[in-house]
Amino acid sequence: MGQTITEKILGDHLVEGELTPGEEIGIEIDQVLTQDTTGTMVWLQFEALDLDEVQTELAAQYCDHQTYQFDFKNTDDHRFLRSAAGTYGAYFSRPGNGICHQVHKENFAAPGKTLLGSDSHTPTPGGLGELAIGAGGLDIAVAMGGGPYYVEMPEVVNVHLEGELPEWATAKDVALHLLGELTVKGGVGKIFEYTGPGAEKLSIPERTTITNLGTELGATSSIFATDEKTKDWLARQDREEEHVDLQPDDDAEYAETIEVDLGELEPLVAAPSMPDNVAPVSEYEGTDVEQVIIGSCTNGAYEDILPSAKMLEGREVNKGTEMIVAPGSKQASEMLAREGWTAEMMAAGVNFSEATCGACIGIGHVPASDSVSLRTFNRNFEGRSGIEDDSVFLCSPEVATAAAITGKIVDPRDLAADLGDLEAPGLEMGTKYGPGMGQDDADIISPDEAIDDGLVKGPNIGDVPLKDGIDVDGGEALLKMKDNITTDHIIPATADILKFRSNIEKLSEFTLSRVDDTFAQRALDADGGVLVAGENYGQGSSREHAALCPMYLGIEAVFAQSFARIHKANLFNFGIVPLAIDAETYEKIEQGDDLEIVDDVPAGVSSGQEEFTVSVNGEWEFTADLDASEREREILSAGGKLSWVKQQHVDD
């Protein structure tokens, strides 16, 4: 039987298990990436493994999420990351050089390789044929130590693209269309493989916009076949020799095929406050817009900003609207500057930000109260922009720029008809700059160029909390939460909180503060307890602090109707038991109830027990399910992955 692209790459990297959907497999990892909010813990955990150097082909540390240096803490973190990269043999990308996914795509991502990253949008270079997966920081530390990455073998879904995008419809609209159809849970346990004549017509930046947004579908990864376009793009990055031909076999079998006719697509938005709240732009036409931001790892490439620059030629940003461009990488900034587009956009009224995540996680450019912001980002969860009552729409750079020109949401096709001289910008590349792309070597420190001597830890760098063994019997339901609680709800990513990411004792004070600001103190006073949640608990960022801080506060178990993939793995990694409950049980449990797990949990976890009986206030009982592989049970029994790995080394 023929193979899919996914099966070919996984087959080449398989060290344990079989490629049967639903079965746990162990795969060898070629490359890892970490960013600054997750990286400090990754390196502290790597240090705890007592290894001399990174064992993967390549490791890269980026400084992108928080590049504004308010006080010494963030700068200390960046210095620590530089020292760790140098000490252990990783590349270090300096603050301001760009967002990890953009910079990794430009410099290191390669077809046929496996990439594991401590960021949920790690699958972005799938557009180049790399099989890239987001995971918790501890999984990255273990992979860097040469350990396999374990994941349930996903189903491989074929998204077959026909036709060609019409004028003003973009790759962003392909991804938004799928989100509207499939929802944020539609890709759970799946890898999306994009094929067909429509896929061949898309440029590499267009493909990576789509693979980036696969994360919003909940997908494990997304990938495109490689072709001449891939080869040409790699050549522009001076990396043509890294191209490999990667195609599914003609008789490859997919779990499912989704047909999309690109020719039928139109400009879309994801309305507040979920990426799958998708509608045609025309439904919101006329809505006042106070802010427009173009950038992020989704639409921050040179080729994403160029259409906006072309649309603004000879025009101005509406006086009542602020327009910000935050390029995804310094390479993008450099190319725009060299070609003169930066000056032209500035003259039109655009403000440029440095190449950083920034506004995407509420650090800078927070919208005004009771206002609409149009962003080319990938997430518009409530409060993510930095204020609770935000109203953020996600859209393409073209739709964002049309709004910047008019001050209102407008379908760019209607704007073009009104103005008469506004042409669909298209994507011809580098007309002024030549065929190559700018290089950012100056901002990447290779392992050979390391400038630190050993790890440099300032006063904000704490210790990694370690748990030894499992001691779980339930406790007070300290908090009952709704559906779709994100890791941003659990540990907010705003600058005032994120600066404590290397200091778990301090950071844990903010745990779930967006849901209930008394929670952390109540958990400490109660000496631990359990959490209750609805569907899709822990969606969003891969931030392992969302499991680490509850563990520090003594949370023993989370009862939820369902869990997001990376967060569930993080719960195992930090010794918290994820237990699934049905909707009826969820409705019946009340905050403050005493949930006593009647069965012996440590014995049940190690013996493979799948159902646990829980008594509520000694008055009624329900059954909760533990869906865990043998390895995940071993990790839980050890008290978490770090203890488990250390035990394995001792046993060896």
Contact status: 178 vs ligand SF4 (CB under 6 A): no
Contact status: 99 vs ligand SF4 (CB under 6 A): yes
Contact status: 566 vs ligand SF4 (CB under 6 A): no
CA distance 582 to 576: 19
Residues in contact with ligand SF4, shown as a per-residue x/- string from 417 to 456 under the rule CB under 6 A: ----------------------------------------
| C-beta separation of 101 from 295 below 8 A | no
Min CB(561)–ligand SF4 separation in Å: 26
- Length of the chain in terms of residues written: 652
Min CB(118)–ligand SF4 separation in Å: 11
Binding residue for ligand SF4 (CB under 6 A) from 378, 401, 562, 643? 378
Min CB(326)–ligand SF4 separation in Å: 9
Beta-sheet strands, E only, within 286-384: 291-295, 322-326, 350-352, 372-375
The DSSP letter of residue 69 is -
Tokens (6 digits) for 165: 């995008």
**Segment 35 to 74, residues that bind ligand SF4, using CB under 6 A:** 65
Nearer to ligand SF4 by C-beta: 170 or 356? Answer: 356
Contact status: 416 vs ligand SF4 (CB under 6 A): no
**CA-to-CA dists, residue 378 to 77, 209, 295, 563, angstroms:** 26, 9, 10, 20
Nearer to ligand SF4 by C-beta: 293 or 444? Answer: 293
Q: Cis peptide leading into 273, omega within 30 of 0?
A: yes
Residue partners of 598: CB distance under 8 A and separation at least 6: 612, 613, 614, 615, 621
Nearer to ligand SF4 by C-beta: 328 or 529? Answer: 328
**Which range, of 21-29, 157-165, 277-285, 353-361, touches ligand SF4 by CB under 6 A?**
353-361
Contact status: 131 vs ligand SF4 (CB under 6 A): no
Min CB(108)–ligand SF4 separation in Å: 16
Nearer to ligand SF4 by C-beta: 353 or 406? Answer: 353
Min CB(384)–ligand SF4 separation in Å: 9
Of 640, 642, 623, the C-alpha closest to 632 is: 640
Contact status: 119 vs ligand SF4 (CB under 6 A): yes
Binding residue for ligand SF4 (CB under 6 A) from 27, 191, 293, 361? 361
Min CB(184)–ligand SF4 separation in Å: 14
Contact status: 211 vs ligand SF4 (CB under 6 A): no
**Which range, of 82-90, 354-362, 395-403, 567-575, touches ligand SF4 by CB under 6 A?**
354-362
Contact status: 593 vs ligand SF4 (CB under 6 A): no
Binding residue for ligand SF4 (CB under 6 A) from 73, 82, 121, 568? 121
CA distance 10 to 3: 11
Exposed / middle / buried, residue 369 (Cβ in 10 Å: 0-12, 13-18, 19+): exposed
Min CB(357)–ligand SF4 separation in Å: 3
Question: 3-class DSSP state for residue 134?
Answer: strand
Nearer to ligand SF4 by C-beta: 105 or 641? Answer: 105
Contact status: 273 vs ligand SF4 (CB under 6 A): no
Neighbours of 432 (CB within 10 A): 9
Binding residue for ligand SF4 (CB under 6 A) from 202, 260, 281, 357? 357
| C-beta separation of 398 from 311 below 8 A | yes
CA distance 508 to 242: 43
Min CB(173)–ligand SF4 separation in Å: 19
Nearer to ligand SF4 by C-beta: 87 or 221? Answer: 221
Beta strands 91-93 and 114-117, pairing class: unpaired
Min CB(36)–ligand SF4 separation in Å: 10
Nearer to ligand SF4 by C-beta: 63 or 557? Answer: 63
Contact status: 546 vs ligand SF4 (CB under 6 A): no
**Which range, of 158-166, 356-364, 585-593, 626-634, touches ligand SF4 by CB under 6 A?**
356-364
Of 607, 620, 570, 428, the C-alpha closest to 138 is: 570
Maximum Cα–Cα distance for the chain, whole Å?
A: 75
| C-beta separation of 111 from 214 below 8 A | no
Binding residue for ligand SF4 (CB under 6 A) from 159, 217, 265, 297? 297
CA distance 410 to 572: 46
- Strand order of the β-sheet with 155-162 is 221-224, 190-195, 155-162, 256-261
**Segment 449 to 508, residues that bind ligand SF4, using CB under 6 A:** none
Binding residue for ligand SF4 (CB under 6 A) from 67, 74, 87, 296? 296
Helix, strand, coil abundance in the chain, percent, nearest 5: 35, 20, 40
Nearer to ligand SF4 by C-beta: 119 or 304? Answer: 119
What DSSP letter does each residue of 491-503 carry, written as one string?
S---HHHHTTTT-
Contact status: 336 vs ligand SF4 (CB under 6 A): no
CA distance 538 to 512: 11
Of 205, 393, 379, 407, the C-alpha closest to 307 is: 205
The residue count for binding ligand SF4 (CB under 6 A) is: 11
Contact status: 543 vs ligand SF4 (CB under 6 A): no
Min CB(637)–ligand SF4 separation in Å: 33
Min CB(328)–ligand SF4 separation in Å: 7
CA distance 593 to 334: 57
Of 93, 95, 97, 102, the C-alpha closest to 121 is: 102
Beta strands 372-375 and 291-295, pairing class: parallel
In the complex, the residues that contact ligand SF4 under the rule CB under 6 A are 65, 99, 101, 119, 121, 296-297, 357, 360-361, 378
